[in-house]
Amino acid sequence: MKEGGSKIFKLLRFFLCLNLLILLTACSGVSPQAMARERVFPKVSLEFLSEYELPQTTFQNTIVGGLSAIAYDRRKNIFYALSDDRSILAPARFYTLSLNLDREKIDNITIENVTLLKNKLGKTYFPGSIDPEGLSLSPRNSVFISSEGIPSKKIDPFIAEFSLDNGEQNLDLPIPQKYKSDRTKENPQQTRGIKENLGFEALTVNNVSSLPDDPFRVFAATESSLLQDTPSEIASQEETGELPQPRVRMLHYVINSVGPPGVLAEHLYLLDPARGIVISNGLTELLVFKEKYFLSLERTFGLFGFGAKIFQVVVNNASDTTRIESLAGDLSRVVPMRKKLLLDLQDLNIPLDNLEGMTLGPTLPDGSQSLILVSDNNFREEQVTQFLLFRLVKG
């Protein structure tokens, strides 16, 4: 074939392949933009393995319950689980648990220890002075714990570091003013800050190094919108025909051994819209999955019981909202964190309780990564402390 004919043949073949690609894409119903979004997230799925209910019990004069967060210590092969008791039934505390797996099933869970939290004065917290909700393990023999705060009692939220050995507080993270209630005696009407029982619930640490002196990151998010970030339902319905998605802020801290901790950035996380008759809808956990990637746990409670969804989340290209005082208005210029549904737990067709804690667990016998969820039974007899075991499947 002559050179000119060869060029024409190659050109025709190029257009034929291009048309075929467009046709296949159209047939699949997936746009190139959607395909690009898919490539943002790692290819993983979740396989449900087993469920375990921890019997209602006491340990060292404390009622074991209200488990709102869990973290796995890989070096010691143990778990730390935080109780959200506000120092009412017993002093604020976390438990050390041993979880025994029989192949791909939770065989039993043993309570090994309880650690009482102590404030800066070395004393346990007074009743009603703390609302512990988030816990994550750090690389320096400590855990970071978040307290939601109690606006009605003028108690601010906090995020602090506590020793694993004795529960003593070591470090306070700075909390931006926008998260604190502006309620005063002179002006009891709150217009700014966390809402009651909707403060810092999700907390995770990114341990890029196991060395205690190396810098690491802490991420914390509120369960729902701050008061000043909540759009008017009437205005939102007129604009979109739907109730607004709760607009959650996630704080990004950097921790190092040579200077004070600081806020590096803040990003917007949009909750999935609640469906049906829902009383509560919130972000209950964040978990560093890979560098720049998270897993998130969203929990609902409504007329037909509890629901929960697990998402993949990525920060890439998300706007820094640090200097935005209110997110209640137009968000067209704010890029939220991207997320993708990984699993709707209602599809498991098992009764779900109040799932609030999530952690990457031990390696399973086949070498795969486990994921474990725990529920907060609210210290109620009609609820259970539920553990769910999953396998993370890659590809």
For residue 107, what are its two tokens?
A: 């065989």
Residue 35's pLDDT is 44
Distance CA 337, CA 293 (A): 10
Number of Cβ within 10 Å of residue 285's Cβ equals 31
pLDDT (tens digit, 9 = 90+) per residue, 151-192? 999 999 999 999 999 999 999 999 999 999 998 888 889 999
Cβ count within 10 A of residue 91: 21
CA distances in angstroms from 189 to 149, 235, 248, 329, listed in the order given: 17, 22, 22, 21
Mean pLDDT for 358-384 is 96
Q: Which CATH number fits domain 40-394: 2.60.40, 3.90.25, 2.115.10, 3.30.1460?
A: 2.115.10
Residue with tokens 């939601």: 148
- Give the mean pLDDT of the chain: 88
What pLDDT does residue 243 have? 59
Rounded CA-CA distance 389/105 in Å is 7
- pLDDT of residue 34 exceeding 80, the answer is no
pLDDT of residue 303: 83
Higher-confidence position of 277 and 105: 105
pLDDT class of 37 with cuts at 50, 70, 90: low
Q: Is the pLDDT of residue 21 over 50?
A: no
Per DSSP, the residues of 239-280 read: HHSSPPPPEEEEEEEEE-SSS--EEEEEEEEEPPPP-SSEEE
Q: Give whichever of 12-16, 116-120, 303-307 has the largest mean pLDDT.
A: 116-120
The stretch 32-61 carries a mean pLDDT of: 83
Output 247 or 37, whichever has higher pLDDT.
Answer: 247
More confident residue, 146 or 273: 146
For the stretch 65-123, pLDDT in tens is: 999 999 999 999 999 999 999 999 999 999 999 999 988 999 999 999 999 999 999 99
CA dist 88 and 124 (Å) reads 12
pLDDT above 70 covers what percent of the chain? 86
The pLDDT of residue 9 is 41
pLDDT tens string 107-138: 999 999 999 999 999 999 999 999 999 999 99
Identify the band that residue 291 occupies on the pLDDT scale cut at 50, 70 and 90.
confident
| pLDDT for the residue 11 | 41
- E runs forming strands in 102-210: 106-116, 132-137, 142-147, 158-163, 169-172, 200-206
Question: How many residues would you count in the chain?
Answer: 395
3-state SS assignment for residue 234: helix
More confident site: 243 or 159: 159
Maximum Cα–Cα distance across the chain: 92
Global confidence as pTM: 0.88
Average the pLDDT over 273-280 and give the result: 81
Confidence at residue 139, expressed as pLDDT on a 0 to 100 scale: 93
Residues 368-374: what's their mean pLDDT? 97
Higher pLDDT, 139 or 16: 139
Distance CA 15, CA 12 (A): 5
The whole-number pLDDT of residue 12 equals: 40
Mean pLDDT over residues 331-359, rounded?
Answer: 97
* Separation in Å, CA 83 to CA 5, 52, 63, 109, 360: 77, 18, 9, 16, 19
User: 3-class SS at 312?
Assistant: strand
pLDDT of residue 357: 98
Tell me the two tokens of residue 262: 């600081």
Q: What is the pLDDT of residue 242?
A: 53
As a whole number, mean pLDDT of residues 262-285 equals 91
Q: What is the pLDDT of residue 171?
A: 94
Return the pLDDT at 38: 57
Q: What is the structure's pLDDT at 210?
A: 67
The pLDDT score that the predictor gives to residue 232 is 77
**Distance between CA atoms of 371 and 383, rounded to whole angstroms?**
22
Contact of 245 with 273, CB cutoff 8 Å: yes
What would the pLDDT profile of 189-238 be if each residue is shown by its tens digit? Answer: 999 999 999 999 999 999 766 677 789 999 999 999 999 999 876 444 43
Residue 4 has pLDDT above 90, yes or no: no
